[in-house]
Amino acid sequence: MASHPESQSRLRRELQAAHAVAVGREKDASSTRRLPTVDEILDTRVPFLDAIIEETIRCSHIVPVTAREALVDTNILGHHIPKGTHVYLLSNGPSFLLPALAVDESLRTDAARAARDIHGVWDPANVADFVPERWLRPDGAFDPLAGPQMAFGGGPRGCFGRKMVYLELRIVVTILTLAFEFCDLDDALNTFNTRESSTEAPQDCYVKLRPVVDWDFDL
């Protein structure tokens, strides 16, 4: 957020507006000068919040590799894959954070074509950039299928904790964005280096915070 102040400012404005006009509340979070409750956060639709969360997950590639084992002899785009082969799917490579590789469409099966068309594709001109707007439709609605995303795997063997992660992120990002401004850091501290194990984690995690002055929160 500190590296993308325009996105941070827009998110804060939209969160303030959403919680100020939420329907059905006797006293909304803005008028009572307080942070929204968990129930209010989860009941309030903020498409740009969803876009920020999804783009953060996409660019951080928390799980860079998903592995599957071929249970039968098969073919992938014309290449023979023997039974027992481990196939590694990179979620930080082509189609995700790099331009997609050219594929001979005649090599795809009908099932593969149908699966491919479930979601959109990323613009190769800015696929590596942090652009939350890529997850929004022209009418401003959030589109979870705007492009490929594989941080949680997919299908019946996808991460069973995915819904919990999104709930936690909605709460944490809303509270921190409303309460604090994430300010620029020195280059020595503002790194995106990671440690890789089963997932990726930051080597360093520094923030420079400033309370948001137009909300009278008890910090």
Across 23-43, average pLDDT: 70
Residue 213 pLDDT greater than 80, yes or no: no
Question: Which residue is listed with tokens 């930051």?
Answer: 202
Domain assignment of residue 50, yes or no? yes
Domain assignment of residue 190, yes or no? yes
Domain assignment of residue 217, yes or no? no
Domain assignment of residue 179, yes or no? yes
Q: Report the domain count for the chain.
A: 1
Domain assignment of residue 216, yes or no? no
Partners of residue 81 on adjacent β-strands: 74
SS3 call for 196: strand
Question: Which band of pLDDT confidence, cut at 50, 70 and 90, is reported for residue 167?
Answer: very high
Number of H helices, E strands in the chain: 5, 8
Domain assignment of residue 52, yes or no? yes
* Cβ density class 64-76: b for 16+ within 10 Å, e for less: bbbeeeeeeeeee
Strand 86-90 relative to strand 79-81: parallel, antiparallel, unpaired?
unpaired
The Cα–Cα gap between 97 and 92 comes to 5
Residue 151, CA atoms < 13 Å, CB-side half-sphere: 20
Angstrom distances, CA of residue 43 to CA of 110, 120, 141, 144, 172? 40, 28, 16, 18, 15
The Cα–Cα gap between 177 and 157 comes to 33
| Per-residue model confidence as pLDDT tens digits over 73-87 | 998 888 999 999 999
pTM of the model: 0.85
Domain assignment of residue 219, yes or no? no
What is the CATH number for 36?
A: 1.10.630.10
Domain assignment of residue 87, yes or no? yes
- Other CB atoms closer than 10 Å to residue 48's CB: what's the count? 20
Between residues 153 and 94, the one the model is more confident about: 94
Between residues 175 and 198, the one the model is more confident about: 175
The Cα–Cα gap between 85 and 104 comes to 23
Percent of the chain's residues with pLDDT above 70: 90
| Per-residue model confidence as pLDDT tens digits over 85-135 | 999 888 888 999 999 998 888 888 888 887 777 889 999 999 999 999 999
The Cα–Cα gap between 200 and 67 comes to 15
Neighbouring residues of 116: CB distance < 8 A, sequence distance ≥ 6: 108
Query: 187: domain range?
Result: 5-211
| Ramachandran area for residue 108 (φ above 0: left; ψ -120 to 50: alpha; else beta) | beta
Q: What is the pLDDT of residue 57?
A: 92
Partners of residue 39 on adjacent β-strands: none
